[in-house]
A and B are shown apart, each in its own frame.
Chain A
Amino acid sequence: MVTFTINGKEVQGQKDWTILDVARWEGIPIPTLCHHPAVEPYGACRLCVVEVDEGRRTRIVISCMYPVKEGIKVRTDTPRVQNVRRWIMQLLLDESPASSYLKELAKSFDVKPSRFQKAGVSFACHLCGLCVRACQEVVGIQALTFSNRGLKKEIASPLQMGSKDCISCGNCLYVCPSLGMEQLYARMRA
C-alpha cells in the first residue's frame, strides 16, 4: 500500500493505482472527460489535472495517469488547477456552444461562451478518443482511427470510405460522450 495525502487528508492506494483511482475510491471529486474505466487512460482532455508536491518540486499532473507515490501531497483545487480547468472548459464550449452536455459541465466552472465562439455548430467532437480506444481495446479491431494532426485532427474511417474492418457492434456509438459519432458510424458501415 502507498500512503499519501489528497487535500490534506491521508489516503491509501495500491501500487499501480493512479491518483484518480484513489480519489474516486475516497469520493473526492475530480472532473474527467477522456477517462473511461473500460479502456486504458489516454491523457488528452487534461481536465483531471491536480497539483502534486513531490518534495523536490510542485507540479501540475493529470490524475488519470499519474501513479501514486509514497508521501506525495496532492491538491485538487488550487488556483493553478482551476485556471487550467476553466480554460479547457472555455475552449471546448466555444468549439460547440450549443452542446447541452458541455453547457451542463461548463456550469460548474462558471464558464460562458466567449466572443470567439463558433457559430452554427451544435456539437463538436473533442477528440477524447473513447471510440477509437473502445474499438481497439474492447472489441479488438481497428475499424476507425485518428487522422491528420493539430487543428485538423479528427476521427475518421480509413481512406475516407466504408471501413472494411467494422463489424457494426456499436461500441463506439455507446461510449461517445458527444453526438459526434452517429454520422461517422453510418459512414463506416457504408
Chain B
Amino acid sequence: MQITTLTDLEAVKARGLAQLYPEKPKILVGMATCGMAAGAQRVLETLQKRAQQLHWDGAVEKTGCIGFCYEEPLVDLIIPGQPRLTYARVDQEFAAEMMTAVAAGTVPEENFLARLDVDDMILDGGPRRFYEGALSGFVAQAPRYEDLDFFKLQRHLAMRNCGFIDPDNLEHYIARGGYFALHRALTSMTPEEVIEAVTVGGLRGRGGGGFPTGVKWASCRKAKGWPKYVLCNADEGDPGAYMDRSLIEGDPHAILEGMLIGAYAIGSTEGYIYVRAEYPLAVKTLQRAILTAREAGLLGQNIFGAGFSFDIKLNLGGGAFVCGESTALMASIEGRPGEPRAKYVRSVEKGLWNLPSNLNNVETWANVPLIIAKGADWYREIGTEGSKGTKIFSLVGQVKNVGLVEVPMGVTIKDMVNLIGGGVPEAREFKAIQIGGPSGGCIPRELWDLPIDFDSLWDAGAMMGSGGMIVMDNSTCMVDVAKFFLDFLIDESCGKCIPCRLGLKRMRDILEEFSSGKGSLADLEELQSLSEAVQDGALCGLGSSGPNPVLTTLRYFRDEYEAHILGRRCPAGVCKDLITYAINQELCNGCMACVRECPQGAITGEKKQPHQLDATLCIKCGACFEVCKFGAVEVS
C-alpha cells in the first residue's frame, strides 16, 4: 500500500507490532551471511518441517545478525508473556528437539545463551517489556543479555533492528519507529534544521576519516550545480571488517531512510548505493528493500506529499578495494576503471559526473534517522568529547568471542579484548590489536588503556578506519603483519601514481630482506624515509596511509624487527626462512597423524615410536603442527 500520511504510517506500525509481538509463539533464525555459513538455512528448514508435522500454531521467521557471530546459528524463541530466549550453536538435531519441546508447551534448556527481558525500542518511545510479573523455573535462573560479558558494554544504536526484524519486511521496520524520522524531517523541519541537528549531534563519518557529516552536507547544499547526488559507500574493502554488510543484511531500510533524510537536507533527487558484489545476500536485501520502499511511495515522487522526490539506484562494485575511495567510487559508478583523481576540487562541489555529490558510509547513514528522531542533544550524550555516538567493530582474530560489537566511543582496548572479547586463547598472550585495516596500525599492549575514539587512535598512529579490529597474540609476527598489509595494498593499488605503485613494492622488498634474515639496521632508516615519501607523494588515501601498518609496527615493535635483522630469528615462529620444525622426542607418542599428513614424506617413524623429521625435506607448511594433539611439533 502507499504510505503518504502520518495516519498511514501509524496504521502500518500497528500491523507491524502485531507481527513483532504476536499473540502466538514465534521462532526467529539469524540468517545473515555468518548464520548461513554456520548452517542457518538447514536449521530454518528443519524448524519449518517439524512445525508442520506437529501442526504447531506459531511462526518461524528469519532475521539479521545480532552480533554473536561465534555462537551462530542463533535461534530466538518468543513466547507471549515470556522473555525472549536465545539459543546458540543450533544444529538440525537440536532444532527438531526444540520444536518438539515448544509444541509441547515447554522450553528447552540446552544450548541456551541468554534471555532478553526488555526490548530497547530506542526509536519508539522507549523500552518495552516482554513480560510482566515473576518468572519461574529454569527461565528465572537463566542469564540475561546484560549479564554476558560480551554484551555488558554494548549499546545497539545503528544495529537497533538487527536480530529483531525480518529485514525484508517494511512493516517490521516501521513498527520499531522506522520512517517516522523521515516524516518529521519532511513535514516539520527545514533542510537547514536537519543539517544543524546532524552537526550539533556531532556525527562523524564512520567510513574511516571521521569527517563531520553535517559540515559535509552543508558544503554540498551550498555547492552550485544540478542535480546533486547522494551516495552510500557500501564497498567495505577492509579485509577483516563486515559491519556494513551486517547492517545491510539486518536492517536495509535504516540506510534508505538515512539517505532520504540526507537528500532532503542537501537538495538532492538521485542517490546511488555502491555495494560490493562479493556480498550477494546484502545486494539482494538492498534490491528488495528499494523495491518495497518504492511500492510504498517512500522512494519516488512527492514523498509524504511534502513535495520532495528522491530515488536510489544500486551499483555493484567489481572487486577493487580502491573503489572505496570517494573519487574512485564515483569513477566506477560512471562505468570507468576505479582510478582516483586529485581532490583539490572537492567532490561535494564536483563529484559524480562533475556535479555536487555527497558520499557517506553505510553506518553513518544508519545513524541519521536516530539523530532526527531522538534529537541532537540526546545523541551528544553518548560517546566522548570529540567522538559522539557509538561505533560498530568487528572483533576478530585471536580472541574467544568473535563478532560484531557496537559500543559507545571511548571504550578502552583492554575492555574490548578482555571483557567483550573474552581474552586471547589459552596459553597465549595478548600482543596487539590492529585497527583501521590497511590504512590503520597496530597498537601494543602497553597502550591498552587507550580509549577507542577517532582522535586517540589518530595520535597513536592508527586510525578508526571502518572498524575492523583484529586481535593478535604472541603467535603473530609483526614483520609478517606489515608484509601482509603491504601485499594487500600492492595487489589493490590502482597503479596510477609512482609512490604507491613502486614505493609500496619497494617497502615490501625491504621487509622481505628482514624476514629472510638479510637485512641490516641501516635498512630501517631507508624504510622510514621511503615511508615518508610515500605518505607525502601518493595520490590518494590508499597510498598515503599505506605505510601506517609499517610505521606503527616499527614504532611499537622495533625489538621484533631487530630480532629479525640482528638475531636472524622470528620470535613468533612465522617467517619461514628463519624457523625450523622439529619433533620433541619426549612428547611424541607415535600416533602417526603427522606422518600421514606431511606432503613431503619428511616425517618417518613407527607406531608408538617417536617420529623423526628430516629437515632437508621439510617445506615448513605447518601441516604436522596443526594435526599434532600432543604439542610435540616444535617451531624454533
Instruction: Indicate if the CB atoms of A116 and B506 lie closer than 8 Å.
Output: yes
- By beta carbon, the residue of chain A nearest B344 is A66
Residue A152 CB within 8 A of the other chain: yes
B residues near A, CB below 8 A? 320, 322, 337, 341-342, 344-345, 490-499, 501-503, 505-506, 509, 529-530, 532-534, 536-539
Instruction: Indicate if the CB atoms of A43 and B499 lie closer than 8 Å.
Output: no
Alpha-carbon gap, A80 to B506, bound state (A):
19
With A44-B497, A83-B532, A150-B491 as known contacts, state yes or no: A65 contacts B538, CB within 8 Å. no
Partner pick for B532 among A61, A80, A127, CB 8 A cutoff: A80
CB distance from B494 to the nearest CB of A (A): 5
Instruction: Indicate if the CB atoms of A60 and B537 lie closer than 8 Å.
Output: yes
Contacts of A150 on B, CB cut-off 8 Å? Answer: 490-495, 501
Instruction: Indicate if the CB atoms of A151 and B495 lie closer than 8 Å.
Output: yes
Would you mind naming 8 contact pairs between A and B with Cβ atoms under 8 Å apart?
Answer: A43-B539, A44-B539, A83-B536, A146-B337, A149-B322, A150-B491, A150-B493, A151-B490
Give 7 A-B pairs besides A127-B501, A148-B495 with Cβ atoms closer than 8 angstroms: A45-B497, A46-B538, A87-B529, A87-B533, A92-B498, A149-B494, A150-B501
Contacts of A47 on B, CB cut-off 8 Å? Answer: 498
CB distance from B609 to the nearest CB of A (A): 49
Contacts of B529 on A, CB cut-off 8 Å? Answer: 83, 87
Residue A49 CB within 8 A of the other chain: yes
Instruction: Indicate if the CB atoms of A149 and B537 lie closer than 8 Å.
Output: no
Listed residue (B490, B536, B539) with the most chain A CB atoms within 10 angstroms of its CB: B536
Alpha-carbon gap, A46 to B533, bound state (A):
11
Instruction: Indicate if the CB atoms of B497 and A84 lie closer than 8 Å.
Output: no
Residue A67 CB within 8 A of the other chain: yes
With A84-B537, A149-B337, A149-B493 as known contacts, state yes or no: A46 contacts B498, CB within 8 Å. yes
Partner pick for A46 among B341, B490, B497, CB 8 A cutoff: B497
Instruction: Indicate if the CB atoms of A91 and B536 lie closer than 8 Å.
Output: no
**By DSSP majority rule, is chain B's interface helix, strand, loop, or mixed?**
helix
Alpha-carbon gap, A148 to B337, bound state (A):
9
Contacts of A44 on B, CB cut-off 8 Å? Answer: 496-498, 539
Contacts of B537 on A, CB cut-off 8 Å? Answer: 46, 49, 60, 84, 87-88
Report how many A-B pairs have Cβ atoms within 8 Å.
Answer: 92
- By beta carbon, the residue of chain A nearest B338 is A149
Residue A95 CB within 8 A of the other chain: yes
Residue A126 CB within 8 A of the other chain: yes
Contacts of A151 on B, CB cut-off 8 Å? Answer: 490, 493, 495, 501, 505
Alpha-carbon gap, A94 to B503, bound state (A):
11
- By beta carbon, the residue of chain A nearest B544 is A60
Residue A62 CB within 8 A of the other chain: yes
With A87-B529, A116-B509 as known contacts, state yes or no: A46 contacts B495, CB within 8 Å. no
Alpha-carbon gap, A148 to B344, bound state (A):
26
Instruction: Indicate if the CB atoms of A84 and B536 lie closer than 8 Å.
Output: yes
Alpha-carbon gap, A152 to B538, bound state (A):
18
Residue A153 CB within 8 A of the other chain: yes
Alpha-carbon gap, A66 to B344, bound state (A):
6
Contacts of A49 on B, CB cut-off 8 Å? Answer: 536-537
Instruction: Indicate if the CB atoms of A43 and B337 lie closer than 8 Å.
Output: no
Contacts of A127 on B, CB cut-off 8 Å? Answer: 495-496, 501
Contacts of B344 on A, CB cut-off 8 Å? Answer: 61, 65-67
Alpha-carbon gap, A47 to B537, bound state (A):
8
Alpha-carbon gap, A131 to B392, bound state (A):
46
- By beta carbon, the residue of chain B nearest A116 is B509
Alpha-carbon gap, A152 to B501, bound state (A):
9
Contacts of B342 on A, CB cut-off 8 Å? Answer: 43, 62, 65-66
Contacts of B497 on A, CB cut-off 8 Å? Answer: 43-46
CB distance from A179 to the nearest CB of B (A): 19
Q: Mark A80-98, 1 if CB is under 8 A from B, else 0.
A: 1001101110011011000
With A43-B341, A91-B506 as known contacts, state yes or no: A149 contacts B495, CB within 8 Å. yes
Contacts of A66 on B, CB cut-off 8 Å? Answer: 342, 344
- By beta carbon, the residue of chain B nearest A45 is B498
CB distance from B385 to the nearest CB of A (A): 21
Alpha-carbon gap, A153 to B533, bound state (A):
21
Contacts of A86 on B, CB cut-off 8 Å? Answer: 533
Alpha-carbon gap, A67 to B343, bound state (A):
11
Listed residue (A45, A83, A88, A149) with the most chain B CB atoms within 10 angstroms of its CB: A149
8 nearest CB pairs, A to B: A153-B495, A87-B533, A91-B502, A84-B537, A60-B536, A150-B493, A150-B495, A46-B537
- By beta carbon, the residue of chain B nearest A46 is B537
**CB-CB contacts below 8 Å: A72-121 with B:** 80, 83-84, 86-88, 91-92, 94-95, 116
Alpha-carbon gap, A67 to B342, bound state (A):
11
Listed residue (B503, B505, B533, B538) with the most chain A CB atoms within 10 angstroms of its CB: B533
Alpha-carbon gap, A32 to B408, bound state (A):
48
- By beta carbon, the residue of chain B nearest A89 is B498
- By beta carbon, the residue of chain B nearest A62 is B342
- By beta carbon, the residue of chain B nearest A91 is B502
Instruction: Indicate if the CB atoms of A84 and B337 lie closer than 8 Å.
Output: no
CB distance from B343 to the nearest CB of A (A): 10
Instruction: Indicate if the CB atoms of B536 and A80 lie closer than 8 Å.
Output: yes
CB distance from A72 to the nearest CB of B (A): 12
CB distance from A124 to the nearest CB of B (A): 10
Q: Mark A121-162, 1 if CB is under 8 A from B, else 0.
A: 000001100000000000000000010111111000000000
Alpha-carbon gap, A87 to B537, bound state (A):
10
Instruction: Indicate if the CB atoms of B495 and A87 lie closer than 8 Å.
Output: no
**CB-CB contacts below 8 Å: A32-57 with B:** 43-47, 49
Partner pick for B502 among A62, A83, A95, CB 8 A cutoff: A95
Contacts of B533 on A, CB cut-off 8 Å? Answer: 83-84, 86-88
Contacts of A94 on B, CB cut-off 8 Å? Answer: 506
CB distance from A18 to the nearest CB of B (A): 9
Alpha-carbon gap, A87 to B529, bound state (A):
9
Alpha-carbon gap, A126 to B497, bound state (A):
10
